[in-house]
Amino acid sequence: FMGRFNEPRKGLKVLIDALPIISRFMPNVRVLVAGPGDSEEFLKDIDPQLRSRIEFLGRLTEEEKADFMSSVGAYVGPNTGGESFGIILAEALAGGAAVVASDIPAFAAVLQNGKFGRLFKSEDSTDLAKVIIDLLRDRDARDQMAKLGQEYAQKFDWDRSEEHTSELQSQR
């Protein structure tokens, strides 16, 4: 997870609510949380048995963000709404992460309705758990999805976008 985790619409609570189910099937699963916020305040409402599975990394530099995305088994975007595009998903894809995201319109659009990442029903922690478990159990499918997603994410590269925009303007 990456984002302002104390902000409810970013959806970290949805991911944490899925954790008991996920950990039954994936006993070594951990949730890495990157971004600003008060981790102690957030953890006080979390089941003490789950706290050891959650690691807060704080705010990451751009370089650290790329390393983070390439090192995780899956990037989860559990946002509940209010996203206009989903740049974080494009960054996760570009970094080589397999992506699981809520089916809010902006995220479904970035992932082309599940073609480049798995979608789950927004705010449904049980559905999120199922999608994550299925993805983590099938390493080949996860690796293939990450590879396709990384190739697809090149279309979001600023230099390429600038070239594409210039081409469109010259065609007018």
Give the 3-state secondary structure of residue 67. Answer: helix
Q: In the prediction, which pLDDT does 158 show?
A: 58
d(CA 172, CA 161): 17
Contact 127, 22 (CB under 8 A): no
What does the pLDDT look like over 50-103, one tens digit per residue?
999 999 999 999 999 989 999 999 999 999 998 888 899 999 999 999 999 999
pTM recorded for the entire structure? 0.88
Percentage of the chain modeled with pLDDT above 90 = 83
Run of H or E including 164: helix 158-170
Give the 3-state secondary structure of residue 13. Answer: helix
Q: In the prediction, which pLDDT does 159 show?
A: 57
